[in-house]
Structure formats: structure tokens, C-alpha cells
A and B are shown apart, each in its own frame.
Chain A
């Protein structure tokens, strides 16, 4: 009798069948999650495309497809950098400031309506360098002073914006005078605009880096459990700085492209991009807590948001209702796509 009682209370000999069954169920869910969520998002996207095509036949035309992909390109380029950052469990809010600084530097150093020097390729180099410098500052302050990325990058947003404002001055809006620059972004090559191919190329490279390189695996490991990654001798701080440099560089590239697309620049050329990009990354399935997600999911998230906004305009929804309707459809699409993955590990806090 005593022996039986002891066995019942000894943790080493307790019957663990129920726990194992639960873990197996979770494990099946986790295995499914890898493919299930993107598939569900694709499903939501197809439903949206079908509805919008019925509401307006012009929605499903090549011209509009070019339009949608072109509009999705800049958020996608920023999203590639943002995905790396979010995968390590951090956040980069400096996107719009970096875009402004890089865009203004690029236009002022290229042939523009204010005159000045045309540095050609060096205008690109200088603008990207600004982005890399701001990204590096983000990463170094984050890792050396150990401040939360939310605070550091929020400050860097306004530093970037401040640099853009100072450089812009109070003279007239500077516009690019070289037609080769202003038409490059939207020039159609093999059915789609150049900017779409550029975004697709960056997406593919980032996907391969994330999946097949030590750097990519380290990114996921840091996001999963930074302490374990650190105790295994991984140079976590170095990786973090590199990731913020990538994010800064991507934002700078997007700033340059936005200025080229418009043919002109102001310090707020990046206005509105942050709040397309971060939701798109998260909607795609990359967890804000880090460690889970990927580049293709981000691409799906960006597409979903772009199709939604474009479709509502083409469907003739009044601007008065567009905001609310867009939010409601988005929530519905996300609930539908994430229904099967609402496991205990993903509970939002």
C-alpha cells in the first residue's frame, strides 16, 4: 500500500500518457503551422481577388496587376529588413526617418531642379550609407547600452527626419531632372515594372539567406531564445548590429526608389510606410516575439494589404467607409487564416 502511494506521488513514475498525448497534438499543430498559415493566407488572398474581380472586371487585368505589384514593391523591400529585425524579437520604427534622410540625400546629390552637383552613382552610395549609418547606430545603441529597440529606433526615426529637414532647407521642392532616373522605377521589363523585379530579387536573396546560411539560422536562434544562443558562444550582438544595418539599408533603398518614383522628394517621402510594413510582416505570420516566420510570409502579408486597398478603390467603396471596411476585412482575413494556429504558444499578451 505504501509502495503504491509512493509511486502515485513520485514525479519520476507518474503516468504521463495525458501529457504525451497533448504534446503530440501540439507537435502536429506545430508541424502544420509551417505550411498551414501561408496556405490559409493564400486562401484569403484568393477570396479577396475573386470578390474584387466580380465587383469590377478591371480589377483582374494586367494593368492593375502591374499596378498592385508596383505598389507592393516598396513595402516589400522595407519588409525584408523588418522581417529580419522582428525575427530576432526586436522592432525597427526608424523606417520613415531613414527613408526621408536617404531620399533627400539622393535627390540633392543627383541632377535636380535646385542645381548643385550631380554625383551619379555616388548619390546612391551616399544615400545608402546614411541608411546603413542610422541602422548601425540603432544596433550599437541597442546592444551596447541595452535599451529596448522600440525606444532606440523611435528616436532614430526623428533623427533621420531631422537630417532630412536640415538638408532640405526651405528652398523649393527639389525634383529630379534626369528622365532616366524618374522613369526607371516604372519602366516595364518582361511584363512588370523594374521595381517589381528588384523587390522580387531582394526577396529571393533574403529567403535563401534566412534558410540556408549560418546568419539566417542564427537570426532564428536569437529570436527563439537569446540566452541559449549566447551561451552556445554565438556572437549575438554582432548579428543584431548586422540585422539593423540591413534594415537601415533597405529603408534607405526604399527612400531612394520612392523619390525616383515621384520624381521629387520632401523630408516626409517615407510617410505612411511604417504602418504598412510592420502589420504586413506580422499578418504574414512572423511573430513579434521573434524566432518564427519568414520572408515569403511577409510577401503574402504585403500583397494582402495592397490588394485590399486597391480592390476597395476599384470596387467604388466611398472613402468615408474605406478605412473601417478595410480594417474589418483585414481582421476577418487574419482570423480565417490563423484559426488553425491559435495554439497556446501564440497567445498574444
Chain B
């Protein structure tokens, strides 16, 4: 055989091999889609519960919700501690997906930008995922398919409005307040601040003196509060923080300045130390407003929605838009109605039983109330 003939044969062989591999790849990808579309048996499933860290009370409650639901449905639970890092989060989720069992995944994303990578990885592995709190606006569950079951959150704007109303009322609808948002580019923080600004239009004599992002960090909130106390002194009548962790830092700074009983505080989360402070009437009733939503409710709702899709009990493609991109109810808490909300924390298992009975969208006190995405009006940015 001459050299040109040999080369020609080689080319033909390479072309045939390439065509064969493409055909095989096509077959296997079709098989993957078929497998994903077929309802999965509960014994083949594993629950994956991914949180930003394990020490924040909210994320600890996320884990609790996953574990209780896993126990009720008899499905093992794997916890992913992202340690505040997108890279850690994604690599740990991918490692669990590679183990072989079909994953039903709840992710409280570290950053919005993590969502597409996670969703694609779960889809490729034939699992089902619900994302909570953060995703890019242009990533829509309907565009990805059934494996991205839903995106879910509580309204940040409602949270900001709720707490601002309580604060403005408590300071007699006049005087200066300061605001300590979370990380500046966090959507959750931005929507809560938008709610604050929107609600302040109803209280024209309440003046927002300063806004200092405090990174969800009690230490930073403490330091910023000390600086703002030095700057404004007794002009400050109220303090708004985007979560209770920062409220702990802010209250400590005002306590040191001897101002705790003259200033009112509101925040989001109703963490255990906040409940204790409210019940103890600390600082002459310093905390006047909070919101109620729970980490264990979010994770259990998220996982249960994905579980229903995995087992074929719901077909995500047939769900209305608000059940794919969902906002759940957030309740306003004041010292007078605090006790109404404490009953849930004392009976997490009972609440999960209720969730299994009534489904992910109708369970009190966090039923579905609206569809997303949540839009911030330009004037409140």
C-alpha cells in the first residue's frame, strides 16, 4: 500500500471513529433525558442540603429542616457546608452527584452566579434541584427544564417595609434613623433596603441619616454603629439592620454608649438571641419589630418541592409560573404578637408533618403569596 493510500485509509478510519463516538454520545445523552423524565423511586434518592455555613442560626435551621424531612420520608441526607465559598459549594455538590444516587437538592446559594453551574451539574446527573434566595434574574427554571424544579424566596421588599413601619411608629413617626444593610451587592439586602426606602415615603418626618453596609457581620455592624454614634449622637432614634446578626453588634454599640433604652431597633430573622432580648424587654423594649420566616421551613419546602418532582408526584413543566419562581409569605412580628410565632420553633417535626400533608405551597405560616422575580423600583435602589 502506497503512502497516499495509507493516509486516505487513516482519514477514513478517524472519520468513522468520530462518527461512532458522536452517535454513542447522542444515544447516551438521550438515555440520560429519558432516565431523568422517569419518576424515581424513593429508595434511589439522596437529599442534598447545601448551606453557606453551619454556624449562622439561619443556615443551622436550614440543616435542621433537611434532616427532619429526610427522617420523615426515610431518605438519607448529605449536608454541604460551603464555608462561605462558591468554589467549595460547587465542588462538594459535584462530588456528591458523582456518587451515583439520584440527588434531590436544596441549595442556599453563596452567590447568585453559582446557580447556573449547580443547576447544570444536577441536570446532567439526572437529579432535581430547588434554589433558595439567590439566582441571576435571567436563569429561569422553565428554560432549564424539569430538573431545575423551582426558585424560591421570601420577599425582601416586604421584609424592609414591615420592619420600617414598626420602627417609624415606635419612634413617634419622627426623628433620625440609621440603616445597616448586609453585603452591598447581595440581592436579599438590596431588596430589604428598597422596602425600607419605599416605606419611609409614608413617614415623611422620619429621616434616614446614614446607610452603612455591614456585610452581615456583627463585628462590622458594631464598628459602624460606634462611628455613627460618634457622628450623629442623640439624633439617632432608631436603627434598622438587614438581619439579626448585625443587630446584635449594633445593640452592643448602643449599650456601650448608654443609649440602648433611648433607641429602637428592628431587623429581619427573629434569631434566638433576638427572641430572648424581646422577651426580657431588654433596653426598655428596644427591639420593636422583626419578621418571621424560618430556615427549616425554607429548606423543607425547597427539598419537598424537588422530591415531588423526582418521584413524579408533580410535573414541573405543567406548574404555573409562580410555582417555578416563587415568593413565600413573610410575617411582621412585634412584641405584642411574638408568642404566636414561637410555637413553630417548638415543634419543627409537627410543622414538617403539616408540610407533607398540605404540600409546599399552602403550609402556614409561609404559604406561597406571589411569583418572582422581585423587582426593585429605580427610585428605591
Contacts and interface: CB of A to CB of B under 8 A. Distances in A.
A64 B230 contact: yes
B: contact size bracket: 35 or more
B286 to A, nearest CB: 14
B252 A271 contact: no
Contacts of B210: 313, 316
Contacts of B273: 113, 172-173, 175, 264
B86 interface: no
B252 A262 contact: yes
Contacts of A309: 227
Interface in A25-72: 56, 58-59, 61, 63-64, 67, 70-71
B212 A319 contact: yes
A58 B219 contact: no
A67 B232 CA distance: 14
Nearest to B224: A313
Contacts of B248: 173, 175, 262-264
A271 B217 contact: yes
Interface in B162-186: 184
A262 B272 contact: no
A272 interface: yes
A312 to B, nearest CB: 9
B226 interface: yes
A310 B230 contact: yes
A262 B55 contact: no
A267 interface: yes
B63 interface: yes
Contact of B231 (A182, A262, A314): A314
A258 B184 CA distance: 24
Nearest to B218: A262
A264 B213 contact: no
Contacts of A262: 218-219, 222, 248-249, 252
Interface string B211-248: 11100011110111011111101000000000001001
A168 B60 CA distance: 11
Nearest to B257: A63
Contacts of A64: 230
Contacts of A310: 227, 230
A225 B238 CA distance: 58
Contacts of A170: 54-55, 60, 63-64
A173 B230 contact: no
B256 interface: yes
Contacts of A59: 230
A59 B228 CA distance: 11
Interface of B: 54-57, 60, 63-64, 184, 210-213, 217-220, 222-224, 226-231, 233, 245, 248-249, 252, 256, 271-273, 276
Interface of A: 56, 58-59, 61, 63-64, 67, 70-71, 113, 165, 168, 170-173, 175, 182-183, 186, 258, 261-264, 266-269, 271-272, 309-310, 313-314, 316, 319-320
State the 7 A-B residue pairs at the shortest beta-carbon distance, nearest first: A64-B230, A313-B227, A172-B272, A170-B60, A186-B256, A314-B231, A67-B230
Given A67-B229, A172-B57, A258-B219, 9 more contacts: A61-B230, A71-B223, A113-B276, A170-B54, A171-B60, A173-B271, A262-B248, A309-B227, A314-B231
